[in-house]
Structure 1
């Protein structure tokens, strides 16, 4: 059975095409023009999640024999959601947690989604999702330092080594944003490791590659995690 999973984010839209349980194609687009891979075929089922805008326009353009499921706080989940305000929970966050539990069902999981914002989420091996945190992403931090001060320059992120102790204003910003955020994530890993044994740490999102080699312990980078979680939620509802 062919199905589609679509994740509408703050800066663009990811999509995955599944044959049964296998993710056979994935992609990314911006704007409202769907790629031909989605327009040129008919799906048995589809699921759409959004943190940014209505899903109706995309849903109306898909060719789906069955139903198009829009992920919401009322959608049945294959995990237990302990979040106090599920109606405010980002669809990408719960989908990532579902995907993590599906892939690592015998482990407690800490998920970092490093994109426009950096979120962390915790789900235990029993499948109970407990929430996590939201903080500004790397680009947002650089922009904020420039926008909300009078003299600090807008600094571009570097993929090379950055100084721990900056000796110029630019180096100091690089240290504060990059080294500071790495320290932030490593601090969360340490704190959750003390509370939960068998902790598996998973990275996804556009900046996952930057953090992969800088975090402590064994890290799994799974860019398609949210799509996998969406597909599992879809399967739970059909």
Structure 2
């Protein structure tokens, strides 16, 4: 079985895969990582052999050493073996999370044109064609980043933290106007990008994932495949490729 360690800026995710099947997923704080990993290693229901670490936060050398003392560890980097052809002109600047998402797309939808939309702190758009060639994509601000920007760069707009799923397009208070404005603009943006790709690729699979996927998925007019675990699947795929 494989252990996936995905460390974000504020929290971390642990996942256990049996081949391609997701068995367990946990979300926890950084300080709880080592104890939880030890519990998983000692759990008789799991026979962990390999692990991969992906971190968008600061390095965790102590945790890496701890893992390496128990399992065969693959540290995910830009040098890792991939299941697609990367044509990005600055590959060293391509986020590891985006690489993992494209790896998941290549593994889950082989020989397909796939647009992966990750709705997190930023919204990323990544495209891989039916020949397993990754072309690149786009990056825009996510929900919370847009709320913070309006508050930071104006004198009177409040800081909004609660997102809403709203079919209305008229806000009757400043708070509601901001919520609708951010939510609607993101939905229009996502649909606009999908339409652009569909104009060039009629046979297109669209995957929506990330922390805000559940809030947006029902309001996207185009057909999409919504999933919360696409990044973890991509990390598992990269672990499989690099542990053989």
Compute the TM-score of the two structures, normalised by the length of structure 1. Answer: 0.92
Establish whether residue 29 from structure 1 lines up as the match of residue 28 from structure 2.
yes
1:111 alignment counterpart: 116
Q: Provide the alpha-carbon RMSD of the alignment.
A: 1.9
Give the Cα–Cα distance (whole angstroms) in 2 for the partners of residues 204 and 56 of structure 1.
29
Structure 1 unaligned segments of length 5 or more: list them.
Answer: none
Compute the TM-score of the two structures, normalised by the length of structure 2. Answer: 0.90
Q: Is the 8 A contact 2:115 2:204 kept in 1?
A: yes
Most deviating of 169-178 and 184-193: 169-178
Establish whether residue 3 from structure 1 lines up as the match of residue 2 from structure 2.
yes
Show CA shifts across 1:141-193 (max 9, x none).
Answer: 11111122111112343434253133432232123211111111111000011
Most deviating of 163-172 and 98-107: 163-172
Establish whether residue 231 from structure 1 lines up as the match of residue 230 from structure 2.
no
Structure 2 unaligned segments of length 5 or more: list them.
Answer: 43-47
2:52 alignment counterpart: 47
User: Paired residue for 1:174, among 155, 179, 196?
Assistant: 179
Q: 3-state DSSP class of the match of 2:31?
A: coil
Q: 3-state DSSP class of the match of 2:32?
A: coil
More helix by share: 2
Post-superposition, which runs of at least 4 consecutive aligned residues in structure 1 deviate over 4 A?
63-66
Most deviating of 205-214 and 12-21: 12-21
Q: How many residues align?
A: 237
1:201 alignment counterpart: 206
Q: Is the 8 A contact 2:81 2:238 kept in 1?
A: yes
